[in-house]
């Protein structure tokens, strides 16, 4: 799965056993190590978005398992 900026408005869903990772102008799947005992985890998505877009990105965590998502939002 790849998403490009020219596909604005598209809905993205992760795939079981893969993290979603943001790059400059795209989103990709990554089979990296589990985080908080799970893959997919939301922290890799939030971290990668913060690294690429910095203060121009907003993250919203509506629900989560354990502490997944908390560390990524702090970035």
Q: What is the DSSP track for the chain?
A: --EEGGGTT------TT-EEEEETTEEEEE----BTTBSS-HHHHHHHHHHHHGGG--------STTTTHHHHH-
pLDDT tens-digit readout, 20-71? 999 988 888 999 999 888 899 888 998 999 999 998 888 887 765 666 666 6
pLDDT at 42: 87
pTM for the whole structure: 0.74
């Amino acid at each position: 799965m790849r998403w490009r900026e020219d596909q604005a408005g598209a809905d993205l869903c992760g795939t079981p056993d893969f993290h979603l990772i943001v790059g400059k102008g795209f989103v990709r799947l990554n089979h990296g190590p589990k985080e908080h005992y799970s893959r997919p985890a939301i922290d890799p998505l939030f971290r990668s978005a913060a690294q690429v877009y910095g203060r121009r990105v907003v993250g919203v965590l509506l629900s989560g398992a354990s502490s997944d998502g908390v560390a990524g939002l702090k970035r």
